[in-house]
Amino acid sequence: MKNRNFKIKIQLINPPITVISGMDLKDIGCFPPLGLFSIFSFLKKNNFQVEFIDFNVGSIPKNKINGDIVGIGADWRTYKNALKIAEQAKSQGSFVVLGGSLVSSLGRTIINRRGKIIDAVIIGDGEIPLLKIARGDNLEKIPNLIFKKQGKIIETKKYEPDLNQYGPIDYSLINLSPYFKNFKKSFPENKNLVVANVYSHKGCAWRNANHKECVFCSIFDKTLRYKNVKTYWREIEQLQELYKINTVYDVSDSFLDNLNWLQELIKIKTPNSPAFYIYSRTNQINQTSINLLTKLGIKNIYLGIESGSQKILNKINKGTTTKNNLSAVKLLAENNIEVDLSFIFGNPEEDKKSIQETFNHFFELSAFGNVNAVEAAFFRPLPGSKSFALLNNKLRGKYDRVDNLPFFKMRREWVENFCNISWHDLKEKIKEFKEIIPQSL
């Protein structure tokens, strides 16, 4: 790499999603990759020359990869292409850094296998580690980094910074219009929505309190961290000023984890603010939380129902009950709030009986009349989750040294090893379910 100083050029890249048949592709290019964008905004604020390239939006001229530092975001849908971009960047002499949800779980394996084309991976938040790399700090003193030095893997100390150190994300730095256009094209039934993604916090209270997260959860945040309400609201106001957004999509894991924070937010909220779309756990929906959400201006809530079988809910350690689900959807219906429901098929010990219970539960929930959309997904044993460790153990460490994981094959391996239903029958059941549910978002 050339000298690391303020004149260097940093490129932050969201690779194209690899399209595999059977994949739901509707969301591609509808929202900017928020993590990468947050890093972009933070580095800009610190006066670095930074370029933001999203391969899933618009067309990208060839040979554009030429940064002194090239930071690439990768999740399971983009990892293959992230490697291709890393190879190209390395061949041009760039310092190549990978980060994002998948990378945070597989960091050591990635450096071990791809050390020739990737100089470092960042675990967790990329803002401060990338800033320090760009400033030319000694890599061994930069937190949350994994890299190779003289053939040896170095892993630096881990920490989760206070989110307020980053300041507000500056949404004026990129043009969000292509995302809004793509959203309208992909979701014509929601063509009146101008919706932007933001985040209020990172982490999950259930995970924190319980130290035993849901078996499929692959988030890497260990603590619960909040943006202060003023910073959060500043971001929303900016989005309203710039794009006249009418809906805020808060991607944080469970919006109702901290009701004091929500109360503070309501105090500073301005009139005519956008409607909110949020994620919540069903056991956090009660009249108190609904009153607060109504004051905030909630439009719709996404609820992780996962299964209609209490045995399965216990097995996956969801921490909710079918009673919670019924009471939440009923209360929300009484308060004129719509819900989007998510179900997972292929949970541990899933069998025909538990699937029938899920169908029945869906019918009971729909009867309240406020179900807007339903998502039905196969169970995915993603790296970083308990389920990945279980599968890998069962397969005698088959995936110990694999970074480019065969996610579709692993879904089937999971069912064959942990469910009491055949892969063929499960596929038929999910097909049947998808035929009866309202169109997924």
* Residues of the shown chain interacting with ligand SF4 in the complex, contacts defined by CB under 6 A: 204, 206-207, 213-214, 217, 219, 253-254, 281
Q: Is 102 in the site for ligand B12 (CB under 6 A)?
A: yes
In 3D, which of 370, 382, 383, 299 has the Cα closest to residue 331?
A: 370
| 354: partner contacted, choices ligand SF4, ligand B12, none (Cβ within 5-8 A by kind) | none
Place of tokens 């709030």: 337
Helix (H) or strand (E) holding 431: helix 423-436
Q: Report the nearest approach of ligand B12 to the CB of residue 126 (Å).
A: 3
Candidate residues 1, 34, 60, 205; the one interacting with ligand B12 per rule CB under 6 A: 34
How far apart CA 348 and CA 387 sit, in angstroms, is: 9
Cα–Cα distance list, 257 to 200, 220, 273, 315, 336 (Å): 11, 17, 22, 23, 22
For residues 16 and 35, which CB has a smaller minimum distance to ligand B12 in the complex? Answer: 35
Q: Which residue, 20 or 259, has its beta carbon nearer to ligand SF4?
A: 259
Q: Is 111 near ligand B12 (CB under 6 A)?
A: no
Task: Please state, as a whole number, how many other Cβ atoms lie within 10 Å of the Cβ of residue 285.
Answer: 25
Half-sphere exposure (Cβ direction) of 355: Cα atoms closer than 13 Å: 24
CB of 350 to ligand SF4, least distance (A): 17
322 binds, among ligand SF4, ligand B12, none (CB under 5 to 8 A by kind): none
Instruction: Give the phi and the psi of residue 65 in degrees, each rounded to 5.
Output: -80, 100
- The partner in contact with residue 214, picked from ligand B12, ligand SF4, none with C-beta cut-offs of 5 to 8 angstroms by kind, is ligand SF4
Q: Which is nearer to ligand B12, 327 or 338 (CB)?
A: 338
Q: Any long-range contacts for 33-37 (C-beta under 8 Å, 24+ apart)?
A: 33/73, 34/197, 34/198, 34/199, 34/251, 35/73, 35/99, 35/100, 35/126, 36/12, 36/71, 36/73, 36/100, 36/126, 37/169, 37/174
State the number of CA atoms in the 13 A half-sphere of 226 facing the CB: 16
In the stretch 200-229, what mask flags binding to ligand B12 with x, by CB under 6 A? -----------------xxx----------
Q: What is the DSSP string of 337-367?
A: -EEEEEEEES-TT--HHHHHHHHHHHHHHHT
Contact with ligand B12 (CB under 6 A) among 101, 280, 370, 372 = 101
Shortest separation between residue 57's beta carbon and ligand SF4, angstroms: 27
**From the list ligand B12, ligand SF4, none, partner contacted by residue 197 (C-beta under 5 to 8 A by kind):** ligand B12
Among 22, 32, 25, 19, smallest CA distance to 186 is for 25
Do 117 and 96 meet the contact criterion of CB atoms below 8 Å apart?
yes
* Closer by beta carbon to ligand B12, 34 or else 395: 34
Long-range CB contacts for residues 426-431, cutoff 8 Å, separation at least 24: 426/345, 426/346, 426/350, 426/355, 426/378, 429/345, 429/352, 429/355, 430/345, 430/376, 430/378
The site partner of 341 among ligand SF4, ligand B12, none (C-beta below 5 to 8 Å per kind) is: none
**Shortest Cβ distance from residue 272 to ligand B12 (Å)?**
26
Handedness of CA 414, 416, 420, 423 (dihedral sign): positive
Nearer to ligand B12, 200 or 240 (CB): 200
126 binds, among ligand B12, ligand SF4, none (CB under 5 to 8 A by kind): ligand B12
Q: Which segments within 133-264 are labelled E, that is strand?
A: 145-149, 152-155, 195-198, 201-202, 225-226, 247-250
Q: Which is nearer to ligand B12, 217 or 298 (CB)?
A: 217
CB of 203 to ligand SF4, least distance (A): 8
Residue placing its CB nearer to ligand B12 in the complex, 122 or 193: 122
Number of residues forming the site for ligand B12 (CB under 6 A): 37
Q: Which does 365 bind (CB under 5 to 8 A by kind): ligand B12, ligand SF4, none?
A: none
With CB under 5 to 8 Å by kind, the binding choice for 281 among ligand B12, ligand SF4, none is ligand SF4
Spatial contact of 50 and 37, defined as CB atoms under 8 Å apart: no
Q: Which stretch binds ligand B12 (CB under 6 A): 35-43, 85-93, 319-327, 365-373?
A: 35-43
Output the smallest distance, CB 316 to ligand B12, in A: 12
The end-to-end CA distance of the chain, in Å, is: 44
* Partner whose footprint covers residue 206, from ligand B12, ligand SF4, none (CB < 5 to 8 Å by kind): ligand SF4
Q: Is 403 in the site for ligand B12 (CB under 6 A)?
A: no
Contact residues toward ligand B12 (CB under 6 A) are 23-24, 27, 31, 33-36, 38-39, 71-73, 75-76, 97, 99-102, 105, 122, 125-127, 130, 197, 199, 217-219, 251, 253, 377, 380, 382-383
